[in-house]
Amino acid sequence: MEYLLKGATCVLVFMVVTMQSNGSGGGGGEPPEEFVEVWSGNLEEEFSRMRKLVAKFPYIAMDTEFPGVVARPLGEFKTTSDYQYQLLKCNCNLLKLIQLGITFYDKTGSKAPGLSTFQFNFKFNLGEDMFAQDSIDMLSSAGIQFKRHEEEGIEVEHFAELFISSGLVMSDDITWVTFASSYDFGYLVRLLTSQKLPDEEGDFFELMSIHFPRVYDVKYLMKSCKNLKGGLQEVAESLQLERVGIQHQAGSDSYLTGAAFFRMKQQYFEDAIDDEKYCGYLYGLGNSYTNGNGNGFSLMESSQ
């Protein structure tokens, strides 16, 4: 069923505000020893730990979990990319982030010793917040603890304050590594700016260039990698990588994304990826925002 949002440019495809189950999610089990679960109670402590890591481990692999897609844009669209951005904008502006996972690597692909993966769990209330039921079912099956998210989840405003001052964003020295990450960055840009995403895709990429100057999207890199196809798990299996943690949890997916990037860099790019061709492109969207050297920006139409 579809509902037109009054005064909006999006139509709500479906909305669910209560779960068919009790909404508690799985227990999740104990996380791997190199993972740390971050809730409201240990947020500042873990940001302090990350500030010490980032200088020596400036490659940050990232993934998010969010509550699906519940709306689609109205109107006419110039390109497929324009439609995809408007779809992203509608949903990122309506919905809330559930998890963010980041894993620290150095330039050779070695993880930080000890705790290297941080899984941030945000406040989310199944009785109040919008979501797509199939996405919540999948995340619940993966062990997402929705009751704990409601009671101990991180407030995004507090997270944003610490994130901005952490040294992880707005720095040319940091390289973000992702997989099909347009929605991931949509949620993070909205979180960091405390504003709804802009109407135009170009304006979104300008905000990206400020907050995340250097980004590689593994799904975009796959355009130049013969025989690599599919989602993250299929790519990891093709590259003979083993998952650590649980699929569809942001920490595990970030860990695997980083491992896939460095294995691809070695096997397909001879350890040298051309920034002009690959840095700053997000899979599924049509603009790039870097000039290739991380020191300036020139918005351009993708020819890929």
Segment 22-50 shows an average pLDDT of 82
Tens-digit pLDDT profile for residues 133-149 = 999 999 999 999 999 99
Q: Which residues of 48-80 are buried (b: 16+ CB within 10 A; e: fewer)?
A: ebbeebbeebbbbbbbbbbbbbbbebeeeeeee
Least confident of 51-65, 143-157, 173-187, 284-298: 284-298
Mean pLDDT of 157-183: 97
Q: Which tens digits make up the pLDDT trace of 60-113?
A: 999 999 999 999 998 898 888 899 999 999 999 999 999 999 999 999 999 999
Amino acid type, 268: Y
Q: What is the pLDDT of residues 222-237, one digit of tens each?
A: 999 988 999 999 999 9
On whether the CB atoms of residues 186 and 285 are closer than 8 A, the answer is no
Name the token pair of 24: 């508690």
pLDDT band at 284 (very low <50, low <70, confident <90, very high): confident
Q: 4 vs 236, which has greater pLDDT? A: 236
CA angle 253, 156, 289 (to 5 degrees): 65
Q: What is the mean pLDDT of the chain?
A: 88
- The first and second tokens of residue 35, run together, are 């993972």
Pure H helices in the chain: 43-53, 80-94, 133-141, 146-152, 156-164, 182-193, 201-211, 218-221, 232-238, 250-268, 275-278
Q: What is the pLDDT of residues 186-226, one digit of tens each?
A: 999 999 999 999 999 999 999 999 999 999 999 999 999 98
Answering whether pTM is above 0.75, one says yes
Position 81 scores a pLDDT of: 87
The torsion defined by the Cα of 168, 170, 176 and 182, in degrees rounded to 10, comes to 120
Distance, in Å, from the CA atom of 302 to the CA atom of 304, rounded to the nearest integer, reads 5
Task: Give pLDDT, residue 304.
Answer: 31
Q: How far is CA 156 from the centre of its chain?
A: 15
